[in-house]
Structure 1
Amino acid sequence: MRVLLHHLGPEAFVILMWFLIFDKSSSQPHIVFILVDDQGFRDVGYHGSEIKTPTLDRLAAEGVKLENYYVQPLCSPSRSQLMTGRYQIHTGLQHSIIRATQPNCLPLDNVTLPQKLKQAGYSTHMVGKWHLGFYKRGCLPTKRGFDTFFGSLLGSGDYYSHYKCEGPGMCGYDLYEGEEAAWEQDRGVYSTMMLTRKAISILANHKPRKQPLFLYLAYQAVHSPLQVPARYLERYKGIPNLHRRKYAAMVSCLDEAIHNLTLALKRYGYYDNTVIVYSSDNGGQPLAGGSNWPLRGSKATYWEGGIRAVGFVHSPLLVNKGTKCRSLVHITDWFPTLVTLGEGTLDEDLNLDGYDVWEILFPLLDDVWSGTSPTRM
């Protein structure tokens, strides 16, 4: 990357010193979006939690922490906004989550984030929790822009058996490969580990120098039921509340999984040209061990504790590390931001509610040289 500071005027130099710089001149970056479920605002090490998250702490410290980052208070609304860049009132998903028996899904006339990245030349893969409806095949992830899908259509099932119950007589198997039940893939492996292994397998079988990759890794963790391998519980013997103890152990397992994913990005040649976005889908649920302190409220409320989320961006392409962003960022903003970052197009008829915030978060070096920006605000 060219760094010819002697050509810059004083104002441009100040911008470079105070903000992160991203070099997009070489090629389209690989994009890894990690969405976790029900992680509370407090429940990460760098927010002062007793829960140990060394990987998340390191990735955030070497990137930019989003300290004024907002989502929706429930699962399906947040996921719909991520996928479309539109508020849930515009997609009919403002009611609550999508239940197994509902003939409802993300409207088929809404263009999705993976569809736009696919148009830009990306290989698109989803691993994890969908929860945007499946009552007909057109609603499934592989019909909404993903080349491959492995995970659950609902989420919040058993972490080992992958069965989900929504009431007496309403139980079913919820693990899929593509559009079919993943019986042959199922070895009773704990969900967080299983999804990470699948993501790593995708990385191992893709050629990072041939085609940019978009990986959407939507973990089931740390949503209830509170289940975790015993070895993680040993770390939190000092927490008296059983729900909190199990929840803390689940967060530590998640942190270790992301460590393994990061190692795989390096091992298979992605890391140096990858942007990682980390986000929770909503606030934590105190009755299931989560904590949003010092924020009021919880998951399923519109108080800060329900909608202000843990979030950060990490990439080795960022020159200046350790920045905190206190500007307002919303989950709808990722659609236009990532499409533009991936050199895709944003048509006016998309009717987006989100904004491209990349220039605000990370001014581009090329913009300083040319005085122009590829982003749209």
Structure 2
Amino acid sequence: MKFIDHVEIEVAAGKGGDGLVAFRREKYVPAGGPSGGNGGRGGSVWFQPTERLQTLLDFKYARCFKADDGKRGGPNNRTGHSGEDLILEIPCGTMVYDTDTDELIADLVTPDDTFLIAKGGKGGLGNQHFLSNSNRAPEYALPGLEGEIKNLRLELKLLAEVGIIGLPNAGKSTLISALSSAKPKIADYPFTTLIPNLGVVRKPTGDGTVFADIPGLIEGASEGIGLGHDFLRHIERTRLLVHLIDVNSENPVHDYEIIQGELSAYGKGLHDRPQIIGLNKIDTIDEETQQEILTQFQGLTDNRIFLISGVTGLGCDRLLQEVWNNLDRMKISEIEENASLLMTNS
């Protein structure tokens, strides 16, 4: 399945049905009055987030989506049928922008966030509505109103609590495959991963947490160089970052500083996001070299640092436990903050 995370589309609600001009023609009723019915309402367009989808591929090639028009009113004061609403399923985490104004219209995160994006036009009034003492036989009705038409940009930001970041070939895909059932492409050359990979990692309690392997981050990614600019947006929703460093690199500290610089340049709070540092591939170097690199990083950052190997699993349990501890602390802090707000408002 091809990963598509931003598209531009047009949605059009249905036109309301026209009102009808009609008169009663009944036996023994010599002066039948107006009986034209109202037109039906045009169908509306809705967005329905769903967890079944992980890409905007359905909108890549079909760019125009239109709901049904309402039907014309009928005789004997019968209202026309309303047009069928059009319900478009989108992945959870999709942001909807107005292309013309660049305004954020909706951020649809959960399946409960069903959103009316384009309202159908009202049906026109039949001539029955224009009967008056001065006009006993109105011969006109109103046309139905046009439905809303909107040009939209959809941007998908993956819903993952933990984002795994690092330079190409740092071992991100290997780690997510070791921790979860995800099976990303893995090879010994850079840019093996061209799309974000999601994997569900189970806690000891049985609950699942979604991890995302974010590809394509290189120097200049925040300015559109490489693939990083396309995928930095996916880190925005994460609560915690695991930053992997390849200990076989010529300068692991410089690699760390490159990614930190890109997070800072991109903005939107990414540089201040809680991080855990994983010095990866320690199975390929001796213990003395491991300690030298660890000492360098301990003088560089206050973040927790772990020596790990995604291939052998060495140290991954300790890193994973630190992830759970961080997420638990965040949830407790949120609960306390919400309770404090409730106390203040009451």
**Under a length normalisation based on structure 2, what TM-score does the superposition of the two structures give?**
0.28
Structure with bigger RCO (C-alpha 8 Å, 6+ apart):
1
By percentage of residues, which structure has more strand?
2
By percentage of residues, which structure has more helix?
1
